[in-house]
């Protein structure tokens, strides 16, 4: 297999993987957006927090895979068409390498997604708790001022 063909096929495979993550991810969803929406309409809703945190994590993992896929395709286009490294000469080796990189990318993207989902969920929960504490302190201060005044 030619190096350019290898890079193009691998880039296309990772592009497909990225598109899968994009399909389940939400565009431009920040932690502050999740806090605002999940608190303003329904008070604190843990199910919504988990759902939106997962969408944000999927979007991030998909974006990174998509960038990597396009970089590989650009590299593939820049490689001379007659370049054929030893590791890619038997077609089976090239296919094995594509499958290996694909699976490794899937595992890494899934680990990243799970980490981001967990950290966003924890951060949103912490912000909700801080908001509740702040509102409680304001209410206590207003009550104490009303008693004193």
The alpha-helical segments, DSSP class H, found in the chain are 3-24, 31-40, 46-78, 91-148
| The predicted structure's pLDDT at residue 18 | 79
0.85 cut: is pTM over it? no
Under DSSP, is residue 107 helix (H, G, I), strand (E, B) or coil?
Answer: helix
Residue 106 reports pLDDT greater than 80: yes
Q: Give the gyration radius of the chain's Cα atoms.
A: 24
Task: Give per-residue pLDDT as tens, 20-77.
Answer: 777 655 556 677 777 777 666 657 777 788 888 888 888 888 888 888 888 888 788 7
Burial of residue 138 (CB within 10 Å: 0-12, 13-18, 19+) is exposed
Whether the per-residue pLDDT at 123 is higher than 60: the answer is yes
For 42-55, write each residue's pLDDT tens digit.
577 777 888 888 88
- Give yes or no for a contact between 57 and 114, defined as CB atoms under 8 angstroms apart: yes
CA distance 126 to 112: 21
pLDDT (tens digit, 9 = 90+) per residue, 82-101?
878 888 888 888 899 999 99
């Amino acid at each position: 297999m030619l190096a350019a063909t290898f890079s193009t096929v691998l880039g296309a495979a990772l592009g497909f993987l990225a598109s899968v993550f994009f399909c389940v991810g939400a565009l431009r969803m920040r932690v502050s957006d999740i806090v605002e929406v999940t608190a303003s309409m329904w008070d604190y809703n843990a199910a919504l927090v988990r759902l939106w945190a997962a969408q944000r994590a999927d979007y991030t993992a998909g974006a990174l895979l998509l960038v990597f896929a396009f970089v590989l395709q650009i590299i593939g286009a820049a490689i001379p068409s007659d370049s054929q490294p030893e590791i890619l000469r038997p077609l089976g080796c090239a296919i094995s390498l594509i499958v290996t990189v694909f699976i490794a990318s899937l595992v890494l993207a899934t680990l990243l997604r799970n980490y981001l989902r967990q950290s966003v969920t924890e951060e949103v929960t912490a912000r909700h708790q801080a908001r509740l504490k702040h509102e409680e302190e304001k209410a206590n201060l207003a009550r104490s001022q009303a008693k004193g005044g």
